[in-house]
Amino acid sequence: MRLKRQWLLLSLLVPSLAAAHDLECEVSINEQSTLVVREYPATLTFRQVVRNIHPTLPSTLQEATDPLLEPLGWSFTPPPPVAIPVNDSRTYEFSVTVESLEDCARIGQVPPSESVEFTDTLQIGWDQGMATCSARVQCVPADTFVCDDTLYVSSSAGTSTELMPLDPTTLATTPVSSSTGFGYDAMGLSHIDGYLYAISNRNLSGDPIPHVVRVDRVGNIEDLGSLPELAGQEWIVGTIMEDGSYVIGSFLGSQWLRLNPVTLEVLGQGTLPTTTPTAWAANPLDNKIYGYQSYLARMSVFDPYTGDFTVFGPVLGNVGIQPCSCAFQQDGTFLLYCYTSDPTVDALFEVDLVNGVATLLGSTPSLAAGDMASCAFPPAQGATPAVRPSGYYMIHEAALERCLASGPVKLGLLPAVVTKEDALRLLWSSPAFTLGGEHRSEEQAARHALARQTLTGVCNQRLFGGTPELQRLLLDTTTTLGRTRAMSRLERHLGEANGRGLDVALPFSLRGRATPSHALEQLQPRSSP
């Protein structure tokens, strides 16, 4: 009897001892749990609240950590240990200024991309317990170029470059941005993402190899890095093709490269049979590059997909043997901007590509050696097209049925996805295990993850039209079969491409009901996708 009473006493005592301290936390950023930053600079105020939720006793906060903010000088104030009375809390605010999208990625400790997202997590500890709480920041581009017929010219000297719109009627220029760290050339303005891509042949990084840079409308420059293929050449011409690939040409070696400007993958390369044109631009009407052969004073046309290169038309005597730059208008008008025999004056011509006649539009005081770019191809729907990540397809069976109605989706070495059930089995199984519960090897996991993104990408194309970037990456999936690292890299790029249009609403006809539990019921672990 006595023993029983002791047990009773103990059982009453133990829970209260175990919960002698009890805390919870809360994080908000500018008073929101998910903050979207669209303008820069922006001030982010992280508000962290630690609350005592013990009904009758004070609780002592023993530890507070925030791995994201600690490198920025954060330390919870008042510093632990701190006793928090009943019904009370401690609030700490910490502010950070985000200068740009790139800066947002730096603060978030994530790779720079077009939409940077990161999570801030506060972890608190007390005697016999811990808790975490989180909030998210999403940074989107401040200022991409509006894809219209604006002509942009650059004026570059050494490691400095000024970028300015050129009015083809008045030939007036208005500086929009300048850089002292990157002397860039070979510009191409992408209708896919609204950024201007260029090669910085000279910069302050100390790297002798030229770098690919990305410039936004307000002049922020992101150094995208270098490639061994860029070494030893000065890249003077650049243009964006209809599929968003970036084609550049070098001055002395007459070399050309076709790049994916986002991933810096080399999609094609070669050497031109003659000197590189000093000006080239992709024609929106036939997706070929038209250039001016300065030493011949004639026009050329180049197809970077076949390597075909032809010089055509008469000698343009009124343009002469001068370095030029050029750009297309969206209606196919070809504009050529050249030095003249007078070193203080530049001239703008319109060249008729059918009869090869150059018409002088006007002249203007000379700019330093530069390039010209325009957004020649119409932007895809004026904005990012809607695409959805694999999570969408996990729970939208009708979307999967519509996607597969136009045929099976081939997945390289893995079996093709034929039925909705095949697709659901692939989407709902993780890279870690098969549906049957077998561990996947590292290689199998990479193959599975890539297959999931491939199915998602193909369905994005079939249902929503997809994007040229997606099309290009899906082409790569058909050739990437082997190495785990290559598969993982491609999987990451595809994942980004599949997630890029998440903020864009779907067309009404494609909105369907999400049915997660029903989708899960369709899984039958008879095979192991």
H-helix or E-strand spanning residue 451: helix 442-464
Buried b (16+ CB within 10 A) or exposed e, 454-489: bbbbbbbbbbbebbbbbebbbebbeebeeeeeebbb
The DSSP annotation for 335-358 comes to EEEEE-SSTTEEEEEEE-TTT--E
Looking at the Cβ atoms of 338 and 386, the one nearer to another protein is 386
The DSSP annotation for 430-445 comes to -SSB-TTSPBPPHHHH
User: How many CA atoms does the CB half-sphere of 67 hold within 13 Å?
Assistant: 8
Residues of this chain, 164-183, that bind another protein according to CB under 8 A: none
Please give the C-alpha separations between residue 445 and each of 11, 448, 452, 457, in angstroms, as whole numbers. 48, 5, 11, 18
Candidates 114, 117, 242, 421; binder of another protein (CB under 8 A) is 117
Residues of this chain, 121-150, that bind another protein according to CB under 8 A: 121, 123, 125, 128-136
Candidates 34, 91, 406, 478; binder of another protein (CB under 8 A) is 34
Looking at the Cβ atoms of 97 and 119, the one nearer to another protein is 119
Looking at the Cβ atoms of 209 and 510, the one nearer to another protein is 510
Looking at the Cβ atoms of 509 and 517, the one nearer to another protein is 517
H-helix or E-strand spanning residue 493: helix 484-499
User: How many CA atoms does the CB half-sphere of 433 hold within 13 Å?
Assistant: 6
40 contacts 100 by C-beta, under 8 angstroms? yes
Is 97 a binding residue for another protein by CB under 8 A? The answer is: no
Candidates 3, 344, 517, 526; binder of another protein (CB under 8 A) is 517
152 contacts 373 by C-beta, under 8 angstroms? yes
Is 24 a binding residue for another protein by CB under 8 A? The answer is: yes
Residue whose pair of structure tokens reads 């550049």 in the numeric block: 248
Candidates 159, 515, 522, 528; binder of another protein (CB under 8 A) is 515
Which residue intervals of 292-437 are DSSP H helices?
390-395, 397-405, 420-428
Is 74 a binding residue for another protein by CB under 8 A? The answer is: no
Looking at the Cβ atoms of 118 and 305, the one nearer to another protein is 118
Q: Residue 351 CB, nearest distance to another protein (Å)? A: 46
Looking at the Cβ atoms of 205 and 515, the one nearer to another protein is 515
Candidates 264, 315, 506, 510; binder of another protein (CB under 8 A) is 506
Q: Residue 323 CB, nearest distance to another protein (Å)? A: 48
Residues 140 and 269: their CA atoms lie apart, in Å, by 33
Looking at the Cβ atoms of 65 and 203, the one nearer to another protein is 65
Is 83 a binding residue for another protein by CB under 8 A? The answer is: no
Residues 18 and 411: their CA atoms lie apart, in Å, by 53
Looking at the Cβ atoms of 196 and 470, the one nearer to another protein is 470
346 contacts 364 by C-beta, under 8 angstroms? yes
Looking at the Cβ atoms of 357 and 506, the one nearer to another protein is 506
Residues of this chain, 410-439, that bind another protein according to CB under 8 A: 428-433, 437
Is 229 a binding residue for another protein by CB under 8 A? The answer is: no
Q: Judged by CB under 8 A, how many residues of this single chain contact another protein?
A: 46
The DSSP annotation for 211-265 comes to EEEEE-TT--EEEEEE-GGGTT--EEEEEE-TTS-EEEEESSS-EEEEE-TTT--
Candidates 156, 179, 245, 390; binder of another protein (CB under 8 A) is 390
What interhelical angle do 442-464 and 397-405 show, nearest 10? Answer: 80
Residues of this chain, 447-486, that bind another protein according to CB under 8 A: none
Residues 95 and 206: their CA atoms lie apart, in Å, by 34
Please name every residue paired with 60 in a beta bridge, in sequence order, or none if there are none. 83
127 contacts 21 by C-beta, under 8 angstroms? yes
Candidates 505, 508, 509, 526; binder of another protein (CB under 8 A) is 505
Strands 182-189 and 177-179: unpaired
Candidates 8, 503, 521, 527; binder of another protein (CB under 8 A) is 503
- Single out the segment in contact with another protein by CB under 8 A; choices: 114-122, 172-180, 299-307, 323-331: 114-122
Is 30 a binding residue for another protein by CB under 8 A? The answer is: no
The amino acid present at 194, given as its one-letter code, is: G
470 contacts 387 by C-beta, under 8 angstroms? yes
Q: Residue 387 CB, nearest distance to another protein (Å)? A: 11
Looking at the Cβ atoms of 305 and 433, the one nearer to another protein is 433
Looking at the Cβ atoms of 410 and 492, the one nearer to another protein is 492
Candidates 290, 302, 392, 464; binder of another protein (CB under 8 A) is 392
Is 303 a binding residue for another protein by CB under 8 A? The answer is: no
In the stretch 341-380, what mask flags binding to another protein with x, by CB under 8 A? ----------------------------------------
Q: Residue 178 CB, nearest distance to another protein (Å)? A: 35
Looking at the Cβ atoms of 219 and 391, the one nearer to another protein is 391
* Distance spanning both ends of the chain, measured CA to CA: 62
DSSP 509: G
Q: Which residues contribute to the site for another protein (CB under 8 A)? A: 24, 26, 33-34, 63, 117-119, 121, 123, 125, 128-136, 389-392, 394-395, 428-433, 437, 495, 502-506, 513-517, 519-520
